[in-house]
Amino acid sequence: MRKAWPEWLGEPPKHMLSGVPAHVDGRMLAIAEEGGARLVNGDRMWHYVEGIENFDPVWPNHGIRILPGPSSLWFDATGKRLPVPLFPGFDTLGTLEYLRTTGYDHSWFILDQSIIEKEFALSGSEQNPDLTNKSIRELLRQRLGKGATEPVEAFKQKGADFVVADTLDDLFAGMKRLSPEVELDTVELRHQIEARDREMDHKFTKDAQITAIRGARNYLGDKLIRVAKPHKILDQSHWPLIAVKLHVVTRKSLGGIQTDLDSRALDAKGNPVPGLYAVGEAAGFGGGGVHGYRSLEGTFLGGCLFTGRQAGRAIAAL
């Protein structure tokens, strides 16, 4: 990742978490290149900026991504609120670009118990047993019942990146303990939280994040299981307060093997490499191909199916 890091994103983070096991190392791309295939878009890559350390890691440096709803306040390492429209769950690539200009590798969510119960989900099938097991009963219990889901609650209690506090001062003290090397501007933090809360009193607020929260709840699915009812973070009935230290978690390269429309791998001159085909994300379709650089990750499946079908048809026609 660091070797191929794009210049427009500045320096790569010194500290990153790994979103994939150690054996997922991209070596097959280099092997394909040695076989004559041309690799393209190596500097296009997909990282998440809402990464947390797994307290029960499955592989070294194991990072989990928070899949956030829109209500958490997002601050950089020093306590400056991220600019519009860099809200939780919005533009991951844009947020990464901005955070690389701050000079620090981490950022912060500040939220409360009501928000974490409604809006936090975690990446990985093992973190979502209700969805993985296709259990309607478990889905209703986990997502609509009282409290956060069991995996989220476990991270809140055991995760190294979580601070839980009953006062704002204690919350800031906990944040400082997790990042003693950074001068945290607690005056600015308090000012931003209080300013945001004041906007909750206005139906036609100019706070774009509050507008986004209210808009999201117009969709019944989000209202039921995804977006917390708008409220003031300093309303103690929604406490405890929570801060989460967020890291960059690596995920995948969006580059890959250049192909023609039959999924045949091409060499540096644009000629097919005999007998070599590339499909799915190995063909780099996610990196400015079918859906563009800022494509939604869930849409990658269509490209996998399409290129796989094209390769199968081409091989069957030989």
> Domain locations in the chain?
7-43+254-316, 49-249
pLDDT digits (tens, 9 = 90+) for 67-104: 999 999 999 999 999 999 999 999 999 999 999 999 99
Give me the mean pLDDT over the 50-57 stretch: 96
Determine the pLDDT at residue 224. Answer: 86
Identity of the amino acid at 71: S
Q: Is residue 305's pLDDT more than 70?
A: yes
Determine the pLDDT at residue 288. Answer: 46
Q: Is residue 143's pLDDT more than 70?
A: no
Helix ranges restricted to H, the chain: 27-34, 92-99, 113-119, 129-132, 136-144, 150-158, 168-178, 186-199, 208-216, 220-225, 300-316
Determine the pLDDT at residue 145. Answer: 65
Of 163-172, 256-265, 291-300, which one has max mean pLDDT? 163-172
Identity of the amino acid at 194: E
pTM higher than 0.85, yes or no?
Answer: yes
Report the alpha-carbon distance of residue 10 to residue 22 in Å, rounded.
25
Give me the mean pLDDT over the 125-152 stretch: 70
27, burial (CB in 10 Å: exposed 0-12, middle 13-18, buried 19+): exposed
What tokens does 249 get? 């978690």
**Confidence band, pLDDT 50/70/90 cuts, at residue 287:** very low
Question: Is residue 180 reached through a cis peptide bond, with omega within 30 degrees of 0 on the bond before it?
Answer: no
- Interaxial angle between packed helices 208-216 and 186-199, expressed in degrees from 0 to 180 and rounded to the nearest 10: 50
Judge: domain 49-249, CATH 3.90.700.10.
yes
- Which residue reads 């204690």 in tokens? 170
Q: Please give the residue that has the higher pLDDT: either 124 or 9.
A: 9
Q: What percent of the chain has pLDDT over 90?
A: 69
Determine the pLDDT at residue 301. Answer: 80
Q: Is residue 144's pLDDT more than 70?
A: no
Determine the pLDDT at residue 289. Answer: 61
Q: Is residue 152's pLDDT more than 80?
A: yes
How many alpha carbons fall within 13 Å on the CB side of residue 248?
A: 26
Of 39-43, 73-77, 221-225, 278-282, which one has max mean pLDDT? 73-77
Give me the mean pLDDT over the 257-273 stretch: 94
Q: What percent of the chain has pLDDT over 70?
A: 92
**Confidence band, pLDDT 50/70/90 cuts, at residue 140:** low
What tokens does 94 get? 């844009």
Q: For the chain, what is the mean pLDDT?
A: 90
Give me the mean pLDDT over the 141-150 stretch: 71
Q: Is residue 181's pLDDT more than 50?
A: yes
Question: CB within 8 A of 201, min separation 6: which ones?
Answer: none
Determine the pLDDT at residue 34. Answer: 94
Determine the pLDDT at residue 161. Answer: 98
Structural contact between residues 51 and 63, judged by C-beta atoms closer than 8 angstroms: yes
Give me the mean pLDDT over the 39-62 stretch: 92
**Confidence band, pLDDT 50/70/90 cuts, at residue 45:** confident
Structural contact between residues 257 and 29, judged by C-beta atoms closer than 8 angstroms: yes
Q: Is residue 286's pLDDT more than 70?
A: no
Q: Is residue 210's pLDDT more than 60?
A: yes
Q: Please give the residue that has the higher pLDDT: either 16 or 132.
A: 16
Q: Please give the residue that has the higher pLDDT: either 253 or 270.
A: 270
Length of the chain as a residue count: 318
With CA atoms as reference, report the closest residue to 249 among 142, 161, 125: 161
